[in-house]
Amino acid sequence: MSSESAAILVTGAAMGIGRAVVEAFAGLGRSMVLFDRNGEALGEAARSLGSDILAVTGSVASLEDCERAVREGVERFGGISAVSHNAGIQRYGDVVTTTLATWDEVISVNLTGGFNIAKAAMLELRRHHGAICLTASVQGMAAQKGALAYVVAKHGLVGLVTAMAMDEAEHGVRVLGVAPGSVDTPMLRWAIEQDPDPEMLSAEIDAMHPLGRRARPEEVAAVIAFLLSDANSFMTGETVRVDGGLLARIPGAPRK
């Protein structure tokens, strides 16, 4: 059965990378389940895209909500053949300043959320020999100072991709991830505003990427769309960097 014969479930669908994924697949005529905890923004996104869209409000931190999103998607479209998981939050602090409540919040959304949506959808993905792509971060491969819980959660997502890929290969399910660098999303713009000098930090963020700028959400969405497509039939267990060369750079070269 083709993995493109049923609907796609997109988490974090109301804005940022998730919204760009939704728009990419809408352009391909795919049926979709849009899942996000921001009901107002989710409704606006769904209304703008047409009739083959089902909006489900809920949190990836709740397994019950994830199961409901899958169940309603199957009832509406007959099946779920792909999942694009993008929901996430950003919080700052080191091991001393990060409260247990903040730690639990970040881990529950950014790591357990990936487990929850995969657990809820996996039997459907097996049925359709489908695929799931988890949006991690370059901070799942390296660390930004002062972002302890976020870094740990994103490292965990990369591990979740690898582990699930090995478990699900025999069931015909491909498991993949993307690790974006800085992306021009509401979350990044919020983070920049936390700095005493947002303008300077914004310029620094652009400059730290060898391509000289942050990514646009649609650039990451295009990679996710390919990874989930049947054209990408022999790739699993890989988390692909979409980072403008950020992690490929080694500082310290002689000046010309």
Distance in angstroms (rounded) separating the CA atoms of residues 240 and 136: 9
- No. of H helices and E strands in the chain? 9, 7
Distance in angstroms (rounded) separating the CA atoms of residues 169 and 165: 6
Separation in Å, CA 252 to CA 103, 162, 249, 256: 35, 32, 10, 12
Helix (H, G, I), strand (E, B) or coil at 131: strand
Q: Both tokens of residue 145?
A: 């100072």
Distance in angstroms (rounded) separating the CA atoms of residues 212 and 202: 12
Q: Both tokens of residue 6?
A: 């049923």
Among candidate residues 150, 176, 205, 244, the one labeled active-site is 150
Sign of CA dihedral 5, 167, 111, 149: negative
92 assigned to active site: no
What residues act catalytically?
150
